[in-house]
Every structure is written in C-alpha cells, then in structure tokens.
Amino acid sequence: MKKFLSVLLVLCISLSFVACTSSGEEQPGGVTTSAGTTKASTTTGTTTAEIEENPFEEFFEISWLDQLNADWREGRWDELELEEMFNVDLQVWAEDGRNTERMAALVAAGDMPDFSYMPGAPREPVNLYEEGMIRSITLQQMKDWIPGFVEAMERIPIGFTYNLVPGTTDEYLGFTQNSVAACQYFYDATCVNLDWLENVGYGFDESALVPVKMTVEGYEKFNDNIFFTEGNIPFEDMNEILRAFTEDDPDGNGVDDTYGMLYVQESAWTNMTQEGLFGFVHDANYRYEDPVTGDIVPKYAYTPYRDYLQWVSDSLTKGYMVKRPGKEAWQPEYNAMAATNKYGVYCVNGSGYLALNSDAYRIFPPQSILLNGNEDARFVIGPMFRGPEGKSVDATYQIDPYGVGKWRVQMISAEVSDAKLERICRILQYTNFHSVDSRIRYNSGIEGIHWKWAGEPYKSSRIATPTTELAEEYRGNLSVFALRYSPSTVQFQIDNAVENGYWAYTPYMHVNNLLVKYALNPVKHTSEAYMGRELYAEFVKDNAEHNAQLNPIINNFKNRALNGEIANFNTEWTEYIDQLYANGLQTMIDKYYNNPKFIEYDPGEKFTIKD
C-alpha cells in the first residue's frame, strides 16, 4: 500500500509540473512534459493509451547543507519522504551554515555541497563562482524546473537583477532570497495618548477606533487600552496639540510636568512621526528629486529636509519637543523617559505592543506605560498627522524582498550536472510551491505533531508544539529542504483579524489600503540591483571618499539646527547647499544620481500581493 501511494504521489507531482511549465511545444504523436521529453502514445480505434515516462528514473545522491543544522539526525521523516518521492539519496550535512570557521575549512578543502545555504562562507557567491566552487543557473532552467520561483519573482521583477553572474543578464549565482512579507509592512507607527487628546479637545469618534485584542494569555485586561485609526490631523493642529500637551496639563494632575513628544534621532522608528511629515524617510539609500534644483539627491540635500530641521528646532526651543540627555545609547534613554507617561506623542514599534510578555519588547511604549502602573491609560496608533504640505509617508521595512551576498543566496556546487540540478529544482518546487500544505509541511512540520491550528484552518495562527514534547525523530530545524522564500502573509493576517478579532497594525493598514497610501516610493534607490554591479562598485568607492568631506558639513548644519543656533534657515541653507555641491555632491549627482544608467525605482506588485 505504501509503495502504491508513493507511485501515485510521483505521478501527481509530475502532472503538476506539466501544468506549471510553459516550456516546449506539443510534438506530433505525443505531449511535451515539463522536462521537454515526449510521452509515447498508441491509438487503437478511438482509445489512446499513453506510456508515462518516469521523470525521476535516474537515481542521484545529493549533498545538502543548511544553517541551524548541526544536530541533524540521519533518516528524519522529511528526508525519507523526499527521497522516496524523487528517487534520490539526500545526504544532509550535520553542519551549521553560519559557522564561519567550519565553512572556511570546508571550502578550503574543496568540499562544496551540491546545494547549500552558507551564510558563514569565507567569500561571497560571486567570488566562489569565479574560483570555480559553484555553478550558475539560467533563467530558462528556472522557468523549466522551478516555475513557482520565477512566478513569485515576476510579481516584483527587480529581483531578476539581483545576484547575476558578472556580464550576464539571465544567469544567476544561485537562488535569491525572496521574503515578500519583509517589504509589506511599516516597522514604525505614531502613538498618541488618547486620554490626553480628548482632554485637549482632539478626540476621535468611537466608530473610528479599532481596538487591539491582546494575543498573550494573561493580558486580556489591556484589550480596551490600544486602538488603531487614521488620524489625518493637519500640521497646524499637530503643533497646537504639542503645545497643549506641554502647557495645558493634559493629565490633570495640576503639575507642569508634561511634554508634547520626545525628539528621536532619525531611524526606522521615526519615519511616520517625524521626517515622514516632510516627504522623506531615514533610509540613506533613498533618493529624491529636489523641487528647487531638479537634481536627484540624498535626503541631506533635499529642500524639505531644511523645513524639517526648522520645525524640530522651533519645537525644541519652545519646549514642545524634548531631546534625550545623550549620555547613553538612544533606546535605554528613550524607553526610560517614555515609561514615565509624561509625553503625549511617541515613535513606536509597529507590533511590539502585542508582546507584553517579551523582555525584548515590553520595555517600549505604549506597553511599557501600561505595565508601569498606568493600566487605565489609552493610546491610539496609526498614521496620525500630516506635514505642512499635507504629506505623510513611511518606509516599508525592506525596499523589496531580495538581497545580495552569502546571506541572501542559496548556492549550487560546480560539480552538479544539469540533470542533478533539475532534480534539486524539482524538490524545491515541491517543498515551496506545489501547494500550501506542502509548503507548510516542509517549512513548519507536520500538523498534529509539530503544530496545530489555533482556530479555523488557514485563517488562524499555528500553535507550535514545544520541542521538549516532540519525539526525537521529529526534532531539529524544520526548513532544511526549503528555499529562503517567504510569501506574503497579508491575507492570513486579514483573515485572522476579520474572523477572530485579532487586529494588528499591518492588517489594519492593508484592509484600509493605507500601506500603499503612505509608503514612500523613492525616485531612485542606491543599490546594485538598480545601478548594476560595476556602477554600484564605483559608487561605493566614490561615496566613501566624498563622505569624508561631506559628513562634517552635514553634521555641523544639523547640530546647529538642533541647538537653536540657526537664525535664518533659508539663508544658511543656501550656503550649506553650496558647500555640499563644492565638496563632492556635484560629482556624485553628475556621475551617479542623475545618470540614466541608474534606473528609477519600481515597486512592482509589492503593495497588492496578499497571498
């Protein structure tokens, strides 16, 4: 019976490959398979009988290396299943691909596994390719043998420019990581004390507030403390709110001890609350078309940056914003000050409020305030304010799902033949793209053993079984035979919110089309993918050299602004820009930023992919 089911499964897999592929043409007397081979057919009267070729007839031994795998146990359930399905012997190495010392020793000895994820490799994939340690895979081979991988990348097609073999346009150093979820959410959000807002006359209608339902047992008492909304509060009103939070005793204790907000050094925490109000974000790789010069420039030369610094300077001078003491790292100081509940507006992590039992996240606002004796405090989270020109933008956590280098590429040994590479691809197609169930199985384990659904299948979260409760044969890294591919989780998050009431910041933003509304698409993004390997290599070198002259100018202007030492921003901005252009910025603009070879940014479908 087991053998019959195995044969039946192989047949189903091969038929799914035929359905997925678009390669080849139908030949007379037969049908082209996914591998381009022909199935013979015989006709007797009106009956046609096809002789099915076994796509896995040739046997292969395939060595395999992954990270987190030093405790691998030979003959594990997933290894045995895939070996029987695909007629292979999977020789999984009990190694941790992140171990730099071990990986260096393996490479030095010429021991390159057939398929590997090796973040600890002594050199980058391009170097290993040039040394003859790994081979390439062409785009056509991917289309023929692992079509799901290509189809996923086509949705955000800039991925096809990542990790190319030098001098080629359709040949790759391996499989590029594709983590769609990473570019579909904002890391940060704006959080405002809702009680204070109401006390100074800026409350919201209750129907506009979506309550957060806590996901951690024991903290249900905070289900009515945090809400989501889209504020759309104009810039003039924002400044009035900051003034009122500072001067009008919003907490009603009769003591002048409250402030509008903490000023935080620009980072992934501050985009929506601070610089995003002026149309730019913290990421130094984003490039903008300046409204005055028409040049493509970094944020420090972007005219709205002047207006941003002037706003911060004025707010600090008036006392509506407060700077940290600056004696320690920013997070400990920020967390300590925020936990006092004496500031009305906060830059917050977009999901940390749910991790009330996590030592890593419970120290941040607003949860730190709730856990610090203010159990009745209420907060509203979302895109709350708009800038002086009505702008409000943020940056997605990653610009796209991809990356370059040994942490973002899964490689293939130079000793692997095309036939063996095809088999590897067939396995990866099955474990990642064959179906939702197969992807879950070979990434997260077996339902009922490694995990169970928290509620309705596919629309609720999965509850993992503690490792200590697993039998020995089911322990260990569960994604050994998977690609570094993470599909969108947006639809799942939406379903979990709508069906089960577990609203979180990301599904709230997607349901209301607020991610695409507020996400900033830069004109250009300085990266190898958009500039090309050679131009980017030149850019990195020139950028480092010119920054030695530019950074002192940039830092001096900003520090003087924060210290209230700039009397006329317009006049001094003109002088500042002239200095930048004379000390290397003009060269960078002419050679790189305005260069048509440096192509413009294209988000693809990153805002619309949901599953």
pLDDT in tens, 267-281: 999 999 999 999 999
In 3D space, the residue among 58, 112, 124 whose CA is nearest the CA of residue 418 turns out to be 58
Q: Model confidence over 116-147: pLDDT tens digits?
A: 999 999 999 999 999 999 999 999 999 999 99
Q: Is the pLDDT of residue 376 over 80?
A: yes
Contacts 24+ apart (CB under 8 A), 332-338: 334/262, 334/264, 335/363, 335/364, 335/365, 335/368, 337/262, 338/262, 338/364, 338/365, 338/368, 338/369
Token digits for 564? 């209230």
Res. 301: pLDDT tops 70? yes
Write down the domain spans for the chain: 2-51, 60-179+402-486, 188-395+524-593
Mean pLDDT, residues 309-326: 96
pLDDT of amino acid 49: 55
For residue 14, the model assigns a pLDDT of 43
Residue 282 neighbours by CB distance under 10 Å: 18
User: Per the structure block, which two tokens stand in for 224?
Assistant: 């009515």
For residue 39, the tally of other CB atoms under 10 A from its CB is 15
pLDDT given at position 52: 64
Total length of the chain: 611
pLDDT at 1: 39
Q: What mean pLDDT is predicted for residues 525-529?
A: 96
Where is pLDDT greater, at 218 or 47?
A: 218
Q: Which amino acid is at 220?
A: E
Neighbours of 365 (CB within 10 A): 26
Mean pLDDT of the chain: 90
What is the percent of the chain where pLDDT is above 90?
81
Neighbouring residues of 271: CB distance < 8 A, sequence distance ≥ 6: 186, 187, 188, 281, 282, 393, 394, 395
Q: If you average pLDDT over residues 290-294, what whole number do you get?
A: 97
Closest CA to 62 of 38, 92, 33: 92
Query: pLDDT tens-digit profile of 50-63?
Result: 656 788 999 999 99
How far apart are the C-alpha atoms of 249 and 50, rounded to whole Å? 84
Looking at domain 188-395+524-593, its CATH superfamily turns out to be Periplasmic binding protein-like II (3.40.190.10)
The dihedrals phi and psi of 461, each to the nearest 5 degrees, come to -75, 165
> Does pLDDT of 7 surpass 90?
no
What mean pLDDT do residues 291-304 have? 98
pLDDT score recorded for residue 51: 59
Q: What is the CATH number of domain 60-179+402-486?
A: 3.40.190.10
Provide the pLDDT confidence category of residue 462 given band limits of 50, 70 and 90.
confident
Residue 189 and residue 381 in contact, taking contact as beta carbons nearer than 8 Å: yes
Residue/partner pairs of 607-611 with CB below 8 Å, 24 or more apart: 607/184, 607/515, 607/516, 607/519, 608/516, 609/155, 609/156, 609/180, 609/184, 609/488, 609/490, 610/488, 610/490, 610/491, 610/494, 610/510, 611/487, 611/488, 611/490, 611/491, 611/492
In three-state secondary structure terms, 436 is helix
Assess whether pLDDT exceeds 70 at residue 46: no
- Enumerate residues 6+ apart whose C-beta is below 8 A from 417: none
pLDDT, tens digit (0-9, with 9 covering 90-100), for 398-410: 999 999 999 999 9
**Cβ-proximal residues to 169 (8 Å cutoff; 6+ apart), any chain:** none
Confidence band of 4 (pLDDT split at 50, 70, 90): very low
The domains spanning 60-179+402-486 and 188-395+524-593 adopt the same CATH topology: yes
pLDDT, position 274: 98
Q: State the SS3 of 322-339.
A: ECCCCCCCHHHHHHHHHC
Question: pLDDT tens, 437-452?
Answer: 999 999 999 999 999 9
What's residue 213's pLDDT? 85
